[in-house]
Amino acid sequence: MKVVLQNVTKIFPGRGRGASDTVAASNLDFEIPDGELIALLGPSGCGKSTTLNLISGLQKPTSGRILFGEDDVTDLPPENRGVGLVFQNYALYPHLSVTDNITFPLGNLRGKDRMSKAEMKQKAYEIAKLVQIDGLMDRKPGELSGGQQQRVAIARALVKMPKILLLDEPLSNLDARLRLQTREEIKRIQRETGITTVFVTHDQDEAMSISDRIIVMKEGVVQQIGKPQEVYDSPANLFVANFLGTPPINVFSASVKGEKLYIGEDCVLDVKNVPDGEVWAAVRPEGFVLDENGPMKCALDRVEVMGRDISVVSENENSVNPVVRSIISAENRVDISSKTVRFRLKPFKTLLFDKKTEDRVFFGDDK
């Protein structure tokens, strides 16, 4: 089922005298297509959890409408929305066994939906099999590992066959190895059930690797919505460019003169159709090419070997970041004793942003 947010705003009134209101979500207006896995991505405090709570119904928007499919659910309480919610710390009932935890939502059903004990157990078993915890049905949450608890929480959210599955920072309580494993798991479960799924994360890696679409947020405002590769290759503004990618994008204070881009004195790139003036130039680490005759000169700091690739760390006085980090194939040789290093820039890995608004400035035949 698709989810539509129309001009949704959530304001938390300030507590106490003189406290100002907090705008947790401002004018959210987007559509989540049916059957997709969506990541809500942003730094902490950006309003992504609030957005999730607005979709689940735990919080009511200050203004705007929320639609599931064609139905307006804005005023419906969570229980009537048909959503499944997985909490960051799982919120498994510690005194109930895995089976009882999973069947708990089914016990709330009434009237014609009411199920017998045996039916509930059967249903729980099916779901448990889907998330691969069917061997642990009689344990208590305290006897499970973090990853297993996570699966139980997902099973509990799925057992009612929700129209939409919501996950709040589903991986943040797991260690690094489990995190990789579990995110594949979430992708698999989502694909097998085909349920529209929204998950909140602050980890861009996580968002990039499994989601069909990413919604990047900052201070309650949506910055960009798009497929992971799109958002990476063509960020809408400097914030998004900075937030996505490891190592982070290299940002320089630069200027444009006569359709040419200057970083300091170096004329580094042709930029057609850009008016003269100051800009931010941002270059992905893989956008640098080692070239003895390259136009961009940096002071060589050190070279880090990363196996298949090497990372050349250098300094440039116009760089906003403390160092300029480039990633190049290990086949290249760098003379470590040399004091300087020269680069050529790949045009499609170089992005320009307006100095004031920080919005993207397109150049050449882009757009």
Partner 1 sequence: MENKSAKGWLYLIPAILFLGAFMVYPLVDVFVYSFEEGYNSASQTFFGTGLYNYSYILHDPYFLQAVKNTFILVIVTVPLSTLIALGISYGLSSIKALRELFQTVYFLPYVTNTLAVGLVFMILFQKTPYTDGLVNLILGFFGVSPIDFIDGPYWAKMFVLCFYTVWVVLPFKILILTSALASVSDDYYNAAKVDGTRPFRIFRKITLPMISPMIFYLVITGFIGAFKAYSDAVALFGVNLNAAEMNTIVGYVYDMLYGDSGGYPSYASAAAIVLFAIVLTITCINLLISKKHVHY
Partner 2 sequence: MNRDIIKKERNAKAANAVRKTLTYIILAIWAVVVLFPFYWMVLTSVKNYASYNSEYIPKFFTLSPTLENYASAFTAVPLGRYFLNTVIFTVLTTGLMLIVTIPAAFAFSRLQFKGRDAVFTLFLSLMMIPYELVVITNYTTITDLGLRNTFTGLILPSVTSVFYIYLLKENFAQIPDELYYAAKVDGTRDLKYLFRVMIPICRPTIITITVLKVIECWNSYVWPRLVTDDKNYFLVSNGIQEIRENGFGRENIPAMMAAVVVISAPLIVLFLVFRKKIMEGVARGGTKG
List residues binding partner 2 (CB under 8 A).
Answer: 71-73, 75-77, 80
How is 294-323 classified by DSSP, letter by letter? -SEEEEEEEEEEETTEEEEEEE-TTBSSSS
Question: CA 109, 110, 115, 117: dihedral to nearest 10 degrees?
Answer: 80
How far is Cα of residue 330 from the mean position of the Cα atoms in its chain?
Answer: 30
Look at residue 106 and give its three-state secondary structure: helix
Answer with the entry of partner 1, partner 2, none that 131 interacts with (C-beta below 5 to 8 A by kind): none
Nearer to partner 1, 124 or 361 (CB): 124
Judged by CB under 8 A, does residue 146 bind partner 1? no
Judged by CB under 8 A, does residue 95 bind partner 1? yes
Answer with the entry of partner 2, partner 1, none that 12 interacts with (C-beta below 5 to 8 A by kind): none
Rounded to a whole number of angstroms, the minimum distance from the CB of residue 82 to partner 2 is 11
Residue with tokens 């002071």: 299
The answer to whether 131 and 153 have CB atoms below 8 angstroms apart is no
Judged by CB under 8 A, does residue 60 bind partner 1? no
Nearer to partner 2, 76 or 91 (CB): 76
Nearer to partner 2, 4 or 102 (CB): 4
Answer with the entry of partner 1, partner 2, none that 71 interacts with (C-beta below 5 to 8 A by kind): partner 2
C-alpha distances in angstroms, 165 versus 155, 203, 229? Answer: 11, 19, 24
Strand partners, 314: 300, 324
What letter does residue 366 receive in the DSSP assignment? -
Which H or E element spans position 85? strand 83-86
Of the residues 21, 71, 79, 175, which one makes contact with partner 1 according to CB under 8 A: 79
Total chain residues near partner 1 (CB under 8 A): 26
Judged by CB under 8 A, does residue 151 bind partner 1? no
Rounded to a whole number of angstroms, the minimum distance from the CB of residue 71 to partner 2 is 5
A 10 A CB-CB count for 169 gives: 20
Nearer to partner 2, 21 or 72 (CB): 72
Of the residues 65, 139, 140, 355, which one makes contact with partner 1 according to CB under 8 A: 140
Residue with tokens 């990372």: 311
How is 194-206 classified by DSSP, letter by letter? --EEEEEES-HHH
Judged by CB under 8 A, does residue 77 bind partner 1? yes
Of the residues 11, 91, 178, 323, which one makes contact with partner 1 according to CB under 8 A: 91
Q: What is the x/- site pattern for partner 1, positions 101-120, by CB under 8 A?
A: ---xx-xx------------
Answer with the entry of partner 1, partner 2, none that 27 interacts with (C-beta below 5 to 8 A by kind): none
Structure tokens of 211?
Answer: 């989601």
Answer with the entry of partner 2, partner 1, none that 73 interacts with (C-beta below 5 to 8 A by kind): partner 2
Helices (H), the chain: 48-56, 98-103, 117-130, 146-158, 176-193, 204-210, 228-233, 238-243
Tell the burial category of 343 from Cβ atoms under 10 Å away from its Cβ (0-12, 13-18, 19+): buried
Rounded to a whole number of angstroms, the minimum distance from the CB of residue 134 to partner 2 is 34
Rounded to a whole number of angstroms, the minimum distance from the CB of residue 31 to partner 2 is 19
Rounded to a whole number of angstroms, the minimum distance from the CB of residue 81 to partner 2 is 10
Rg (CA), the chain: 25
Rounded to a whole number of angstroms, the minimum distance from the CB of residue 58 to partner 2 is 16
Residue 316: which of 333, 351, 340 has the closest Cα? 340
Rounded to a whole number of angstroms, the minimum distance from the CB of residue 96 to partner 1 is 8
Answer with the entry of partner 2, partner 1, none that 60 interacts with (C-beta below 5 to 8 A by kind): none
The stretch among 56-64, 126-134, 182-190, 248-256 that binds partner 1 (CB under 8 A) is: 56-64
Q: How many whole angstroms separate alpha carbon 18 and alpha carbon 117? A: 55
The answer to whether 33 and 2 have CB atoms below 8 angstroms apart is yes
Residues in contact with partner 1 by the rule CB under 8 A: 56-58, 77-80, 83-85, 87-89, 91, 93-96, 104-105, 107-108, 140, 142, 156, 160
